[in-house]
Amino acid sequence: MGGRSSGPRPALLGRRMAARLFDMVVVAAVVTPIAVPLVASVQTHLQQKVDLARDLDGRSTVWLVDPTVLGSVGLLVAAVLAVGFVYEALPTAVWGRTLGKAICGLRVLDLRSKQKPGFGRVLARWLSYQLLVLLLVGAADLLWCMVDRPWRQCWHDKLGRTFVTSAAAQRR
């Protein structure tokens, strides 16, 4: 056995993916009642613009991105971030895990101290994950832990200086 056998070990990828999927479903379920009317109003707005352009003589340019659309997108992004912060960042700062991680028996730890990370590390971890998803590289971020050694960190773990372990390995 190696020298790390007495301390917390990195969590297995399958459990991490299950926890992430659970957490994403919860956030989506909470945001959906906000998203559905926003999307419907944008669709109606855009259809009205297209219909008006068709009624005009000659050729017309219809801009699909306008202040109405941008405002709705901004509200949706704000809702996702607010729900994500309350559901993911705060519980991770307080208890070291989200509901999904608790169900899967996982905990987030500070890489250096091997204790629950402080709020700053959790915030850096959560914000970097949100940015990576926004940049459409979230899947690559999650898959990175397959090749990372020795702590199996995703990019957002590296930026937050954290890692994910089995909760049984660290009861505090």
- Residues 29-44: pLDDT tens digits? 999 999 999 999 999 9
**pLDDT band for position 9 (50/70/90)?**
very high
Q: HSE (CB half, 13 Å, CA atoms) of 3?
A: 1
Tell me the pLDDT tens digit for each residue of 19-29. 999 999 999 99
Residue 94 lies in a domain: yes
CA atoms 138, 140, 143, 145: torsion sign: negative
Strand 162-166, strand 106-110: pairing = antiparallel
Give the Cβ contact number of residue 116 at 10 Å. Answer: 20
| Domain assignment of residue 6, yes or no | no
| Domain presence at residue 172 | no
Residue at 52 is within a domain? yes
**36 vs 54: which has the higher pLDDT:** 36
In-domain check, residue 69: yes
Cα dihedral value 109, 113, 118, 120, nearest 10: -100
Which amino acid is it at 113?
S
Q: How many domains, in total, are found in the chain? A: 1
Q: What is the pLDDT, as a whole number, of residue 2? A: 43
Q: Is residue 104 part of a domain?
A: yes
Task: Tell me the per-residue pLDDT of 82-141, one tens digit each, with 9 for 90 and over.
Answer: 999 999 999 999 999 999 999 999 999 999 999 999 999 999 999 999 999 989 898 899
Nearest CA-CA partner of 122 in 77, 83, 165, 163: 163
What are the structure tokens assigned to 36, written together? 């559905």
Per-residue confidence (pLDDT) for residue 73, from 0 to 100 = 96
Would 8 be classed as within a structural domain? no
DSSP E strands in the chain: the ranges are 106-110, 162-166
Domain containing 34: what range?
13-167
pLDDT at 169: 52
Whether 87 maps to a domain, the answer reads yes
> CB within 8 A of 95, min separation 6: which ones?
102, 116
Whats the size of the chain, residue-wise?
A: 172
